Amino acid sequence: MPMAKVPVAWGEWRPDVATLDTQFANDVENVFPGSNSYLPVPSLAPFSDAVVPPPPSTERIVGLFSARATTGEWKIYAGTPTKLFTWTMLAGWSELGTGYHVPEGELWSFAQFGKWVVAVQIGDLPVRADVDGGGTFATFGAPIAHNVRTIGDFLILGGLASNRRKIMWSAINDITGWTIGLNLCDEQEMPDGGPVMGLAGDKVGFIVQDRAVSLLQFLPGDITFIFSISKIVYDRGSVSEYGFTSIGDNLYLLCEDGFYAVSQGNLTPIGHEKVNDWFLANSDPGRRNVIQAITAVKPYIFWAYHSSPGTPVGYYDSVILFNWTNGRWARMKVNAQMWATVATVNLDLDTTGSEPGDALLDSTARSLDSFAYMGGRPRVAAVDPAGYLVDLTGPNLQATLESGEAHLSPGTRAMVGDVYPLADGVDGVIYDGFRERLQDDVQWTQAFPIEITGSAAVYNSARLHRFRHIIPRDTKWTHAQGVVVDAQQDGTVA
């Protein structure tokens, strides 16, 4: 039998299904899922020289948010369990509030309402600060609650301290109005469904509970009912107060048994027979209550999580990400204390400013493609374990792509010759995972470098093969589609 060129695509990552002789990938790490390829994930690069909290404090960050001033300028806010800070390019981090008591296992919940940024957590009364005028955070009459969301002309608190099944909304267009029965301020108690984990959406709002999801729609002109509340999901809800997000009128959430989307009142499983079982087996059950969902600028949703009980306290070490346009998944191994979509004012490129790192263009610590020079563009950002503001603009992370297992020559062993990766970053190495029987453990060859021919000379014989391509960190590449394998029948298994 002559040598055949056998294409092996990386395919969709679906670790929950059997991948033998399928088009599905066994593993994909540090890549974004495209429609017919995987794309590189940049590493986190600092765009600030200042750490939060400023030394000597060593508290961890439990809140990160970006708000926009009336002028259009972006402001960044972060919180520790006891303090709130704001960041500017000029001044770094400045303390805007202290003396708070965010309990262990809770995070700050932020919302913007007009010129106010509101910060809520269950340990203290909600506080607000003026995004336009600056100033410190101060209470404003709202009751203690777990979380906050702006929906239409109302600021809505979820999971009240007095009753976690309650939500309460402010007076219309007035976040200092918290007298129930005045100016449309009121509260509602969910009769069942467990604690309110939070709110999402806007025109179509969502009340997300532990075991239910309800729609929340404003009834303009109705002083009596104000909002229409109708339960649409009866037996599932979010495991985390921070583990859901909405895009348009669609809600994406992590439930006890995996990932779901709620769209037009319908619950759709988006992780079943894809990543649910893998995720539940590879995440720390004890810290699922703080899993964080972030809506990226591109069509991705990030869920940041702790991969095991051994993950250190203080930062997430993993992200599972979902491309909501094509329903595909991938994962990242990145450490970050807190994630958020943020934007900032730009650092100008002249060399006369007083901004740190701007005095001498040729000696600045930042590269010219740093996020610091791109003001007003929202990005997925984070606070890294060292306390630096970072965003996904660094050199590409090391990527790992692993195919499903295949009988390259059905019924016989297959001799694999050259393996030609379909990726425009030609660096990297190829491994061949092989075994003779499905009952055997998979063995891996040594790493074969990709040579000047663009192929790796693997030369290995077995009945079953799978391939792994590792693209090193810092490699510039745009798409990885799979490999083309030179395979030849190599006799039967004796």
| Interacting residues with another protein (CB under 8 A) | 141, 171-174, 176-177, 179-184, 186-189, 223-226
Contact 464, 407 (CB under 8 A): yes
Beta carbon of residue 47, minimum distance to another protein (angstroms, whole number): 36
Q: How far apart are CA 246 and CA 350, in angstroms?
A: 39
Least distance to another protein, CB of residue 179, Å: 5
Beta-carbon-side half-sphere exposure of residue 29 (alpha carbons within 13 Å)? 16
Burial (0-12, 13-18, 19+ Cβ within 10 Å), 210: buried
CB of 10 to another protein, least distance (A): 53
Q: In angstroms, what is the minimal distance from the CB of 127 to another protein?
A: 15
In the complex with another protein, which residue's Cβ is closer, 186 or 358?
186
**Which is nearer to another protein, 156 or 345 (by Cβ)?**
156
Q: How far is the CB of 181 from another protein (least distance, A)?
A: 5
Q: How far is the CB of 228 from another protein (least distance, A)?
A: 12
Residue closest to 107 by CA, chosen among 136, 74, 135, 84: 84
| Identity of the residue, 15 or 205, whose beta carbon is nearer to another protein in the bound complex | 205
Task: Output 140 or 300, the one with its CB closest to another protein.
Answer: 140
Tell me the C-alpha distance between 465 and 353, whole Å. Answer: 59
Minimum distance from residue 215 beta carbon to another protein (Å): 17
State which residue, 70 or 179, has the beta carbon closest to another protein. Answer: 179
Report the residue number, 166 or 379, with the smaller CB distance to another protein.
166
d(C-alpha 153, C-alpha 171), whole Å: 9
With beta carbons less than 8 A apart as the criterion, state whether 110 and 117 touch.
yes
Judged by beta carbon, residue 59 or residue 187, the one nearer another protein is: 187
Running DSSP on this structure, what letter comes out for residue 405? P
For residue 472, give the amino acid letter: P
Nearer Cβ to another protein (180/447): 180
Euclidean distance between CA atoms 171 and 487, whole angstroms: 70
Instruction: Report the residue number, 184 or 430, with the smaller CB distance to another protein.
Output: 184
| Spatial distance between the Cα atoms of 46 and 395, rounded to a whole number of angstroms | 12
Alpha carbon of 258 to those of 213, 243, 271: distances in Å? Answer: 15, 11, 6
Distance (Å) of CA 220 to CA 11, 207, 337: 48, 19, 41
Q: Tell me how far, at minimum, the Cβ of 165 lies from another protein, in Å.
A: 12
Using alpha carbons only, what angle is made at residue 343 by residues 338 and 347, rounded to the nearest 5 degrees?
A: 120
Cα distance between residue 51 and residue 58, in whole Å: 10
CB of 125 or CB of 226, closer to another protein: 226
**By C-alpha distance, which of 364, 363, 304 is closest to 335?**
304
The CB-of-174 to another protein minimum distance in angstroms stands at 5
CB 190, min distance to another protein, A: 12
Q: Specify the residue, 152 or 395, whose C-beta has the smaller distance to another protein.
A: 152
Angle at 393 between CA 388 and CA 396, to 5 degrees: 115
Q: Which tokens go with 255?
A: 């439930």
Peptide bond into 2 cis (omega under 30): no
Collapse the DSSP code of 135 into the 3-class scheme (helix H, G, I; strand E, B; otherwise coil) and give the result: strand
Type of residue at 388: Y
CA–CA separation, 17 and 180 (whole Å): 52
Cα 317–chain centre separation? 11
Residues 6+ apart with CB under 8 A from 55: none
* Shortest CB 86 distance to another protein, Å: 22
Q: Which residue's CB is nearer to another protein, number 102 or number 171?
A: 171
Nearest-approach distance from CB 166 to another protein, in angstroms? 9
